Structure 1
């Protein structure tokens, strides 16, 4: 069985969904999750496969200088996404015992990853998935250094820029691996929730007029009404990005009940999912919709006053392929 380490960086106060994220880690005992953070974590409330290391943002910048030989100029932690493809080198001392390493976001709940990332896939591919919220790499020198080998994408320039290039996703490291014909595996087996919609709507897989995402028994499921009947499919994880999640019932962290992910809150489910339950919980959150689009407008205006981290999709390169 392959040993896999997944790295997460977090600086500043933790969100309420942190304990939901940690709860979903327990069902993935074949993975170790390495959290580097400046926050004090109560180790009695986290699973054994979550390894926490205290690290300040300034400490991280110094490590970047020493191990990557680049000069970080970022002021926003979001910029760290551009450093993710270099984690194999940046955190090398923590990865010596692992066959694969990767990175993930915290605004998600994992299902049973081994149902989607099999030993056969791990034996065949050097890179698993192409989205920043979860990507895995084979832990070997060629793969760990490939990010800085491209003839068209200047990784050092990206990392030393204050702008965000989204280097960890399709238009970045994916293109570098394509340049060198390294096998990559990607299957749309996760729910990537569109942050700009009022209801939970996926940006990458089929949606239904009435649907509900549920975490139950360590699995993530998409329940939906199709042709008048209730159906479901299992997913690797659900990514509920850029949403302010209100948790009114703390039992979602500890109870044996399933968890329904709604556009308003995460709630414990003490009953089986039914068509009526899907209709009840699949409701639009128009307040989120208005706040999200107001924030996007504000960020657009802020680019002209240097109050927000600019996003640059050019990747300092020639035109790239999809």
Structure 2
């Protein structure tokens, strides 16, 4: 069995759904999650496979300078996504003894990852998945240094810039792996929820007129009504990005199953049927209008210092395999 460590950086107060993220880690006891944060954590609520290390943003900047020989200039923690491909070097001492390392977001809930990332896949590929919210890399010196080996993408300039380049996703490290013809595995076995939709709508897999996502006994499932029948498919995880989810019923933190709706996460026991799907597949228009209003304001961000600047020049750079 491969030893795998997943690194998470979080600065500032945690969100309501953080406890649910931690619950979903417990299901994946064959993975270790390494959380670096400036927050005090209640140790009694932390799963055994979550290791927490106290770290301030300023201390992290100094570590970046010492280990990567880069002087970070960013003001927003969102910029740390551009440093993720360098985690193999940045956190080399903490990753000793692991076969794979990776990174993930906390605005998601994992299902059973081993149902989708098998030993055969881990033996055959150097990189697993290419959406930035969860990615794994083989813990090998060549792979760990690859982010700064490209002839076409200048990682140092990206990391020293205060702008965000989305370097950890399709348009960054994925392109560098293509440049060197290194095998990457990607299967659309996740629910990547579109951030700008009123209801939960996937941006990467098939959607249905009526559907409901459920974290059920440690598995993520997409339930839907198709040809008059209630059906479902299992997924590796669900990513509900850029949503201010409020959990009104704290039983969701202990309930065997949780309904993941566009307005809240609801504890649930029983059978998912067509009536339940129709009841909870509702649009969140408050989120919809707030999201589109923010997008309009972000278009004016060059006049404001409150928004992390996004440099999209990297997105247009595509390397042919």
Provide, for residues 282-322 of structure 1, a one-character-per-residue CA deviation record: whole Å limited to 9, x for no partner.
00010110011111111221223333111112139955459
Secondary structure at the counterpart of residue 131 of structure 1? coil
| Pairs aligned (count) | 321
Matched with 2:242 is 242
Contact preservation (8 Å) 2:178, 2:319: no
2:48 aligned with 1:48, yes or no? yes
Determine the structure 2 residue equivalent to 1:142.
142
Given that residues 9 and 36 in structure 2 are in contact (C-alpha distance below 8 angstroms), is that contact kept between their aligned partners in structure 1? yes
Return closer, same or farther for 1:214/1:317 CA change in 2, 3 Å cut-off.
closer
Distance 1:182 1:202, change over 3 A: same
1:286 aligns with 2:306: no
1:319 and 1:121, CA in 2 relative to 1: closer, same or farther beyond 3 A?
Answer: closer
Deviation of 1:150 after TM superposition, in Å, equals: 0.1
**Does 1:130 pair with 2:134?**
no
RMSD: 1.2
Contact preservation (8 Å) 1:303, 1:309: no
CA 1:317–1:205: 2 relative to 1, 3 Å:
closer
What is the CA deviation profile of residues 130-183 of structure 1, one whole-angstrom value per residue up to 9, with x for unaligned ones? 011000000010000000000000000000001100000000000000000110
Contact kept in structure 1, 2:37 and 2:52, CA below 8 Å: yes
Query: Unaligned regions of 5+ residues in structure 2, if any?
Result: none
Superimposed CA distance per residue, residues 22-71 of structure 1 (whole angstroms, 9 cap, x where no aligned partner):
00001000000000000000111010000000000000000000000011
What does 1:208-219 align with in structure 2 at a 5 Å threshold? 208-219=208-219
> Is the partner of 2:150 in helix, strand or coil?
coil
Instruction: Tell me how far apart the structure 2 counterparts of residues 317 and 276 of structure 1 sit (CA, whole Å).
Output: 45
**Other-structure match for 1:307:** 306
CA distance, structure 1, for counterparts of residue 250 and residue 43 of structure 2:
18
Equivalence for 1:105:
105
1:1-322 to structure 2, matched below 5 A, reads: 1-255=1-255, 257-315=256-314, 320-321=319-320
Q: Secondary structure at the match of 1:121?
A: helix
- Cα 1:282–1:202 shift into 2, 3 Å: same
8 A contact 1:154–1:316 mirrored in 2: no
Query: Partners in 2 of 1:73 and 1:170 — Cα distance?
Result: 24
Any conservation in 1 of the 2:7–2:104 contact (CA below 8 Å)? yes
For residues 89-132 of structure 1, what are the alpha-carbon distances to aligned partners after superposition, in whole Å with 9 as ceiling and x for unaligned? 00000000100000000000000000000000000000000011
Structure 1: any 5+ residue segments left out of the alignment? none
Task: Classify 1:129/1:86 alpha carbon distance in 2 versus 1 (closer, same or farther; 3 Å).
Answer: same
- Contact 1:171 1:320 survives alignment (8 Å): no
TM norm structure 2? 0.98
Deviations 1:262-295 (A, max 9, x none): 0010001122100000000000010110011111
Distance in 2 of aligned mates of 1:224 and 1:158: 42
The answer to whether the Cα contact below 8 Å between 1:101 and 1:138 also exists between their aligned partners in 2 is yes
| SS across alignment from 2:279 | helix
